[in-house]
A and B are shown apart, each in its own frame.
Chain A
Amino acid sequence: MAFVDARRPGGILLWFLQRLTAAGLLILLLTHFYFLHYFQEGFVTYRKVAVRLASPYWKIFDILFLTLAIFHGFNGFQTVVLEYVHREKLQRMLLILLWTVALVFFMIGVYSIAVFTIQS
C-alpha cells in the first residue's frame, strides 16, 4: 500500500500545539482588548500605549503573544502546504522558506518590543 509507506510521524504534535496556542491566544487577545479598549479612560493615544509597552511585564506579555501568534499562524500555513503541495522537493523547500520567514518575523518582533523605550 503505497500511501502508507509515505507516512511521516508528527501528526499529533502539530494538532495539539495548534489547539494549545489557540487557547493561549484567546486568553491573551481578550486581555489585550480589555486593557487597550476598556480598562483606560478616554481615547487610546500613542502616549498611553507607549507607557504600557515600556514596562517589562507588558514586554513579556507581548513577546508571549508574538510567539504564540507566529507559531499558530505559520503552523496553519504549514498545514496548507502539507496538504496542497504534493511534490516532495517543492514541499520541503516551501516548508524551509516558511519557517525561515517565521523566524525572521519573530526576531524583528522581539527586537522591536525589547528595545522599545519612551522618547521624551
Chain B
Amino acid sequence: MERCFKIFRFDPENGSVPLYREYRIDVQPDWRILDCIHEIKWKLDGTLSFRRSCAHGVCGSDAMMINGKNRLACRTLVRDLKKRGVIRIDPLKGFPVIKDLIVDSDAFFERNEAVKPWFVNNDRPPEKERLQSPEERDRIDEPTKCILCGSCTSACPTYWYDKAYLGPAALLKAHRFIFDSRDQAGEERLEILNDLTGPYKCHTIFNCVETCPKEINVTGAIAELKMEILRSRLRKKSKSGR
C-alpha cells in the first residue's frame, strides 16, 4: 500500500530554510518506520539524513518525533500508526537541529554527565562480585532500562523553556545510581540535585512517561528523588544535632 511521508528537512550548510518534504512510497504494514525512511533514502532521496545504529531498540540513536510523538523509528511499525493520512516525521524537539532529523545532543549528554553517571565504590573489590539482593536490584530495575535516546527530555515542556533544567533523562540516571545499594556517592549526587536546576523543576507533566519507548515511569523516579533529597537533609540534621 502507498503511504505519504511528510519529513522535516533542514540543511543549514547549504543555506536552506526548514521545510517539510513529501515522499510517497509503497510500504507493508509490518514495516518499521526505520525501514520506510531507509527506502526513501536509498531509492528516492539520498540527501535525507538521520541517525540510526543498532536498529533494534537498544542504542537509542533513532529517536524522532513520529506523528507528533517521540518514538524510536526502529520500534514503530506502520500498522501501529493511524491507518490513513500522511505520516509526519520531525527531529526531536527542544534540541538544535544539525541536519534534517539529526539533532545536536551535546547539551543532553552534558546534563547526563553532571549527575556523575558512573559507579562509585571505594571499598576493596571482593573476590567475586558485589552482591545485591533481588529486592535491591528491583529498586533500580526501571532506570537501568534507559537507553539515553533523549525522547523524554525532548518531550519535557520545562526543558523547552528553561535550559537550566537537568531534564528527565539525567534525573533518571541519577536515580539509577542513588538507589543502587552498591554505590557510595548517593549523598554527593543528592547534593548536586538539590538545586534550582534539579528535580524541583519537574511539574509532573508526565510527557516523559507518555513518550518513553522503554515505558519507564520517569516522573515517578523524579518524585522519589524529591523525597530522597528531603530525607537526606533530615538525616544530616539529626546527625549534626546529636
Interfacial residues, chain A to chain B (CB-CB below 8 A): 1, 3-4, 6-12, 14-16, 82-84, 86
> Would you list which residues of chain B between 225 and 242 have a CB under 8 Å from chain A?
226, 229-230, 233
Q: SS class of chain B's interface: helix, strand, loop or mixed?
A: helix
Chain B residues near A (Cβ < 8 Å) = 110-111, 113-114, 158, 161-164, 193-201, 226, 229-230, 233
Docked-complex contact B200 and A14, CB < 8 angstroms = yes
What chain A residues lie within 8 Å of B158 (beta carbons)? 83
Partner of A7, one of B163, B196, B229: B196
The answer for the CA separation of A82 and B197 in the assembled complex, in Å, is: 10
Residues in A with CB closer than 8 Å to B163 are 3
CA distance A4 to B198 in the complex (A): 10
Contact B197 A16 (CB under 8 A): no
Tell me how far the C-beta of B219 lies from the nearest C-beta in chain A, rounded to whole angstroms.
15
List 29 A-B pairs, Cβ < 8 Å: A1-B113, A1-B114, A3-B114, A3-B163, A3-B164, A3-B197, A4-B114, A4-B197, A6-B164, A6-B197, A7-B195, A7-B196, A7-B197, A9-B194, A9-B195, A10-B195, A10-B196, A11-B195, A11-B196, A11-B197, A11-B198, A11-B200, A11-B229, A15-B200, A15-B226, A82-B196, A84-B161, A84-B162, A86-B162
Known: A4-B197, A7-B196, A83-B161. A12 touches B230 (CB 8 A): yes
Distance A84 CA – B196 CA, assembled complex (angstroms): 13
| List of A residues within 8 angstroms of B161 by Cβ | 83-84
- The answer to whether A12 touches B197, judged by C-beta atoms less than 8 angstroms apart, is no
Q: Chain B's nearest CB lies how many Å from the CB of A9?
A: 7
Q: Kindly report which residue of chain B lies nearest to residue A8, judged by CB atoms.
A: B196
